[in-house]
Amino acid sequence: MSLIRLLQKEIPSTVLDETDLFLKAKSILPNITFQDIGADQLIEIQKSHGIDLATAFLYDLILNRSGVPSFYKQLYSFSPESGKFGKIKGKVLAVPAGLYEELPEYAGDGSLVLSIAKKFGLETLKIPVQSKGKINDNVKIIYETIAKEKEPLYVFSFSKGGSDFRMFLEKYPELSPRIKLWVSVGGIHKGLHLVERFVGNSKLKNFFSKSLLNVVGIPLEFVSDFSLQPNDLNKPFSLPKNLKTVSVVGFPIESHLKGTIRSRYKYLSSFGPNDGVTLLLDAIIPDSHIIPVWGTDHYFRSPKISNVFHQIFHAIYKGWI
């Protein structure tokens, strides 16, 4: 092994010809639509063609085979550089991600969305959920906040905030008429395969996991809420029928990633296309407008995301969502 290789801190995945990747994706099951695809079928495509092509295939299904091409044409037609931001009546509420206080560099508190919302004349508020709080505890905080607010409300949730807000809607459906729109960004809405590495039916595993998490100050319950064991989070969605929803989902392949999230992505790849934390199909709210962001992982550390948020607010202003 060369000295250059020994000094290299991380060996990245080889860059792909992504144009070729998308062309191949279009040729896979050309007559199937996004509405037809299921998790098992996606896994079969992955076994036959690999994780990168399965991810590109799902991306193509959403953009080109979901039956709403006009929505994407409208959405992407707006250029934030124009500086023309229409005024929207109402208030934007942010439901922060888990550990947003401990890891502020990821902007899981919704600060970017709230700053963009103000350009469109909207009032803003960060719901003070607990950074390391259990879902049920945060549901109470969301309830106490929204019960005091007047409509129309536009709720943006981030990562774990998606599960907090989902459970709020299912527990307090009577407050849903106040919500004009729910936008889930990198949403965790179901149990996580990653969590099964820490918790499960083994008392010994739970003991060691609890001890390890205590060292970094994270309660075991914060993690165990996302077990794949039967619980409310793993039941089918039961959202109010008239609630409008948007799912903003990162679509990375391995060559886009590095560091810890790359190792998580590789582990999760045996279960299907993922963003390094959750499976892509699980990040999509049923019957929602889906905005896939190619090349972006769960944390949306990408220059694309600012444009996406501006485009969402413009779409709200135009009544496209």
Q: For position 289, what pLDDT does the model report?
A: 97
The two structure tokens encoding residue 298:
């769960």
Rounded CA-CA distance 80/305 in Å is 12
Strand order in the sheet with 245-251: 123-126, 91-95, 153-158, 179-185, 245-251, 289-294
- Eight-state DSSP code of residue 38: -
Q: How confident is the model at residue 297 (pLDDT cuts 50, 70, 90)?
A: very high
Q: What is the mean pLDDT of the chain?
A: 90
Does residue 189 register a pLDDT over 70?
Answer: yes
- CB atoms inside a 10 Å sphere around CB 135: 22
- Which residue has better confidence, 310 or 4? 310
Residue 281 has a pLDDT of 97
Q: Above 50 in pLDDT, residue 190?
A: yes
Enumerate long-range contacts of 14-22, CB under 8 Å, 24 or more apart: 14/255, 15/255, 16/52, 16/253, 16/255, 18/56, 18/253, 21/52, 21/53, 21/56, 21/253, 22/56, 22/59, 22/60
Contact 157, 245 (CB under 8 A): no
> What pLDDT, on the 0 to 100 scale, is given for residue 100?
95
- CA atoms 119, 122, 128, 132: torsion sign: negative
pLDDT tens-digit series, residues 137-178? 999 999 999 999 988 999 999 999 999 999 999 999 999 999
Q: Does residue 277 register a pLDDT over 80? A: yes
Least confident of 132-136, 223-227, 271-275: 223-227
Containing 312, the helix (H) or strand (E) segment is helix 304-318
Spell out the CATH class of 69-189+245-318.
Answer: alpha beta
Partners of 246 in the beta sheet? 183, 289
Predicted local confidence at residue 151, as pLDDT: 85
Q: Which of 21-35, 61-75, 217-231 has the lowest mean pLDDT?
A: 217-231
Q: Is the pLDDT of residue 210 over 60?
A: no
Share of the chain above pLDDT 90, in %: 79
**pLDDT (tens digit per residue) in 281-292:** 999 999 999 999
Residue 91, C-beta contacts closer than 8 angstroms, at least 6 positions apart: 122, 123, 124, 125, 149, 150, 152, 153, 154
Identity of the highest mean pLDDT range in 6-20, 210-224, 225-239, 277-291: 277-291
Q: What's the pLDDT tens digit per position in 63-72?
A: 999 989 899 9
C-alpha triplet 157, 42, 31: angle, nearest 5°: 105
pLDDT of 136 over the 90 cut: yes
Tell me, what's the pLDDT at 222?
78
Residue 215: pLDDT over 60? no
Residues forming CATH 3.40.50.1820 domain(s) in the chain = 69-189+245-318
Q: What pLDDT is attached to residue 212?
A: 45
